[in-house]
Amino acid sequence: QVQLVESGGGLVQAGGSLRLSCAASGGTVSRLRMGWFRQAPGKERDFVAAITWSVGITYYADSVKGRFTISRDNAKNTMNLQMNSLKPEGTAVYYCAADPRFGLGRSVDEYNYWGQGTQVTVSS
């Protein structure tokens, strides 16, 4: 059973940066499909970014492309999301997700394991 714990959320002004981390236990991040999703109040959980296991191919939602970077730190068994040029519409709870299946996962049903989420608030 993989357990995921997010950290790094907080309050930031528009245009600022935050770095989220997701610590994994019960599994090795280099052998897991991993991703970030976010959910604003009253809205569905949306895909943000994903990374495959092994080779580490990445994929981003159009809304964050060029501003967010997903990465893995295999030595620390963590996944990170560097978020730059944040916008108020990025305010949401951000969730880390993992799954042992091969390939990229870009939808909620492609992940079996989820963290508890971390709040990101971007003020205008």
CA distance 1 to 57: 24
How high is the pLDDT of residue 55? 80
DSSP conformation class of 27: S
How high is the pLDDT of residue 60? 98
How high is the pLDDT of residue 13? 98
- Dihedral Cα 67, 68, 74, 75, nearest 10 deg: 70
DSSP conformation class of 22: E
How high is the pLDDT of residue 91? 98
Asked if 68 and 81 touch (Cβ cutoff 8 Å), the reply is yes
How high is the pLDDT of residue 19? 98
Mean pLDDT by 10 residues, the chain (124 residues): 96 98 90 95 97 88 98 92 98 97 92 97 96
Residue 30 CB: number of other CB atoms within 10 A?
Answer: 15
Give the up-direction half-sphere exposure of residue 18: CA atoms within 13 A in the CB hemisphere: 22
Tokens of 46: 């949306």
Which candidate, 121, 122, 101, places its Cα nearest to that of 110?
Answer: 101
